[in-house]
Amino acid sequence: MSVNAKLDRVALFGATSAIAQETGRILAGRGASLVVVGRDPHKLSAVADDLRARGAARVEAVQADLDEVGRHAALVDGAAEALGGLDAVVIAQGVLGDQEESARDVAAAERVLVGNFVGPALLAQAAANRLAAQGAGTLVGISSVAGDRGRGSNYTYGAAKGGFSLFLQGLRNRYAPAGVQVLTVKPGFVDTPMTAHLEKSALFATPARVAAGIVRAAERGRDVVYAPGFWRLVMAVIRAIPERIFKRLKL
Ligand X SMILES: NC(=O)c1ccc[n+]([C@@H]2O[C@H](COP(=O)([O-])OP(=O)(O)OC[C@H]3O[C@@H](n4cnc5c(N)ncnc54)[C@H](OP(=O)(O)O)[C@@H]3O)[C@@H](O)[C@H]2O)c1
| Site mask for ligand X (CB under 6 A), range 130-169, x = bound | ------------x-x-------------------------
Spell out the residues 6+ positions from residue 166 whose beta carbon is closer than 8 angstroms to its own. Answer: none
Cβ–Cβ < 8 Å for 110, 67: no
b/e burial code for range 46-79 (CB count within 10 A of at least 16 → b): ebbebbeebebeebebbebebeebebbbebbebb
The residue range among 50-58, 79-87, 89-97, 236-244 that interacts with ligand X, by the rule CB under 6 A, is 89-97
Strands (DSSP E) contained in 64-151 are: 88-91, 137-142
| Site mask for ligand X (CB under 6 A), range 91-120, x = bound | -xxxx-------------------x---x-
Which helix (H) or strand (E) is 184 found in, with range? strand 180-187
Among candidates 19, 6, 3, which has minimal Cα distance to 187?
19
Q: Is 157 a known active-site residue?
A: yes
| Site mask for ligand X (CB under 6 A), range 24-63, x = bound | --------------xxx--x--------------------
The residue range among 72-80, 98-106, 191-199, 236-244 that interacts with ligand X, by the rule CB under 6 A, is 191-199
Q: Would you say 178 or 224 has its CB closer to ligand X? A: 224
Q: Which residue has its beta carbon closest to ligand X?
A: 94
Spell out the residues 6+ positions from residue 246 whose beta carbon is closer than 8 angstroms to its own. Answer: 149
The residue range among 15-23, 52-60, 169-177, 232-240 that interacts with ligand X, by the rule CB under 6 A, is 15-23
Cα-based distances in Å from 142 to 46, 50, 105, 121, 129:
22, 22, 26, 11, 18
Residues lying near ligand X in the complex (CB under 6 A) are found at: 14, 16-19, 38-40, 43, 65-67, 92-95, 115, 119, 142, 144, 187, 189-190, 192-195, 207
Which residues are catalytically annotated? 157
